[in-house]
Structure 1
Amino acid sequence: MHRFSRDGVTFHTYVSPDRGLRATAHVIEFKNEVLLIDATFFPETGAEVADLIKHIGKPVAKAVLSHEHPDHWSGTVAMPDVPFETLPAIRADVVKEAADRIPTNVANSPDLVLGHTEIDGVPIEFRNITHTESNNMIVAVLPEQRVAVVQDLVFSGVYFAPGYDRPKWIRDLESFRDDPAFDTLLLGHGTPSNRGELDVAIQYLKLLTEVMDGPDATPEKAVKAMQDAYPSYLGADFVLEVLIPEYWPS
């Protein structure tokens, strides 16, 4: 658990154990309510997130599912009474992936409204970043606290999923480097970080693009190149060895 406070708001980041690839859920605590973003992969880690909210002792004003990948929504089963708002396109992708396993608090939840809003008087902006690690990625920005919840736009210490359009993904991260609204990042995998993590992510994605798109590239060479470049990262057996061939350019 990682926690810090800024300008009257406390940010609680739950980081899953290594077997859950350090997937996160963020509980953002305001004066009277909390905002929950994502729920981790396993029912037991989702239950620990639910216990955190219970310990804080404030009602959930809004829960948000950032994107369609199961390491961020599967844990919602541990909090069945909390509806997870998301975009219709994200919900449709969850349905496609989960089939009859989709939790009812995702399947029957309200649609998330993008743009500027407030919770407990604190301004929040919800953005949608398309065609990066996932088809749609919800980002939450709290400009007064200078914090952005970027989820799987940035990983720390975990291999990145190859994504859909890496050049666009890189451009989006480059634009974030110059965004005046935030300087602290809450990630989808790993501990809270700062703007410097964007440079690490950009360099990772540039190398991944090079080893996947080169004229003599093969999945096997690409996997080895990423392991050689980032030997301490988690998830090689799945993120690299399974997903790189799955996302291989046709």
Structure 2
Amino acid sequence: MTNSTREKKTMLGTVQTLELDGLKVHIYTPPDESLLVNSTVLELADRLIVVDGQIFQKFAAEVGDLIDTLGKPIDRFILTHNHPDHYSGFQHLTERFPGVQLAALPSVRKYLVKMGQQVLDVRRSLFGDEIAARLAVPDAVIVPGELVISAVRFLFQEFSDAESEYTLTITLPDHGVALVADLLGSEHNHLFTVQPNFDGWLAVLDKIRLDVAKYGIKTLIVGHGAPIGPESLPANVAYLEAAKAAFASSAKAEDFVAAVKASLPDRSPDLWVNWSSQMLYGHVAP
């Protein structure tokens, strides 16, 4: 197996490609204005699997353009978790590629049916027409467990009470790669602590650490920004411990932000922790 990468500019966003044995993994990352939220295209021998759909429609369109260049049919879209920066763009993608199923965990689908449109409406009041006007409701479910697709082994796992209520991770056990959504981030960035699930999230990181060792994972594709390696795990634990302490000592969002920045002065961008605090303290729905 090879695990080389190449990076190329694609319009406003960038695409980084992992060339693996029997597949390629294309990671689309938009500019800073869209929180560097990733969409990942798994290019198998005969089909594509597209994971997460952006927040702004113009960047979802760039994901669509990337898909067009690959010249293979889309097997399915997959949503990792129930936050609008990952599902808003599926309005564009499901309209552009009609008939392609959007799959998610049953727990994520249930949440979206109940709350998804309401959350989109709030985001549209803040960010305008770049946010989806219509919720793309998942019409297929992901069952946790192993599945072989086009000779590639996938391991789907569900985690709860961490960065979001429910998160799907996708591990490629034979390739040393795992898509972990917003459960992990770069050691240089703030995490999206939008809910006070610090203990549950720390327990999830323990499980990810065990999986890293079990499957020899070398590359972790995160929800925002460039992929990381297992060496970033301790920095993620340190962040959550600092955020837990800051939340325990802070009655207001601005106090939480100040405490996190004081504990972790080298993390960036400020926008991420500022925005997270508005959700953590109930001013905006996650």
**Same-fold call, TM > 0.5?**
yes
Aligned pair count? 244
Closer/same/farther in 2, CA of residues 33 and 104 from structure 1, 3 Å limit: farther
Tell me how far apart the structure 1 counterparts of residues 117 and 207 of structure 2 sit (CA, whole Å). Answer: 36
Match of 1:118 among 135, 143, 148: 148
Structure 2 equivalent of residue 85 of structure 1: 103
Tell me how far apart the structure 2 counterparts of residues 212 and 29 of structure 1 sit (CA, whole Å). Answer: 41
- Aligned-partner residue type, residue 136 of structure 1: Y
1:54 to partner: Cα distance: 0.8
Structure 1 equivalent of residue 5 of structure 2: none
1:52-67 correspondence to structure 2 within 5 Å: 52-67=66-81
Closer/same/farther in 2, CA of residues 184 and 103 from structure 1, 3 Å limit: farther
Tell me how far apart the structure 2 counterparts of residues 158 and 21 of structure 1 sit (CA, whole Å). Answer: 11
TM-score by length of 1: 0.90
Closer/same/farther in 2, CA of residues 158 and 209 from structure 1, 3 Å limit: closer
* Residue 11 in structure 1 maps to residue 9 in structure 2: no
Structure 1 segments of 4 or more deviating over 3 A?
A: 100-106
In structure 2, runs of 5+ residues without a counterpart are 1-14, 121-131
Structure 2 equivalent of residue 69 of structure 1: 83
- Aligned-partner residue type, residue 239 of structure 1: S
Aligned residues: CA RMSD:
2.0
Closer/same/farther in 2, CA of residues 34 and 143 from structure 1, 3 Å limit: same
Tell me how far apart the structure 1 counterparts of residues 226 and 25 of structure 2 sit (CA, whole Å). Answer: 12
Tell me how far apart the structure 2 counterparts of residues 119 and 59 of structure 1 sit (CA, whole Å). Answer: 14
Question: Deviations 1:32-78 (Å, cap 9, x if unpaired)?
Answer: 11111101111111111111111011111222111110000001112
- Aligned-partner residue type, residue 50 of structure 1: G
- Aligned-partner residue type, residue 157 of structure 2: R
Q: Give SS of 1:178's match.
A: helix
Q: Give SS of 2:204's match.
A: helix
- The 8 Å contact of residues 26 and 41 in structure 2, kept in 1 or not, is answered as yes
Structure 2 equivalent of residue 187 of structure 1: 222
- The 8 Å contact of residues 76 and 103 in structure 1, kept in 2 or not, is answered as no
TM-score by length of 2: 0.79
Q: Give SS of 2:109's match.
A: helix
> Which stretch of the first structure deviates more once superposed, 95-104 or 44-53?
95-104
Structure 2 equivalent of residue 132 of structure 1: 162
> Which stretch of the first structure deviates more once superposed, 195-204 or 121-130?
195-204
- The 8 Å contact of residues 83 and 109 in structure 1, kept in 2 or not, is answered as yes
Match of 2:245 among 177, 188, 210: 210
> Which stretch of the first structure deviates more once superposed, 89-98 or 132-141?
89-98
Q: Give SS of 1:4's match.
A: strand
Structure 2 equivalent of residue 98 of structure 1: 116
1:227 to partner: Cα distance: 2.4
Closer/same/farther in 2, CA of residues 236 and 171 from structure 1, 3 Å limit: closer
In structure 1, runs of 5+ residues without a counterpart are none
Q: Give SS of 1:71's match.
A: helix
Tell me how far apart the structure 1 counterparts of residues 91 and 194 of structure 2 sit (CA, whole Å). Answer: 27
Closer/same/farther in 2, CA of residues 108 and 200 from structure 1, 3 Å limit: closer
* Residue 165 in structure 1 maps to residue 197 in structure 2: yes
Structure 1 equivalent of residue 255 of structure 2: 221
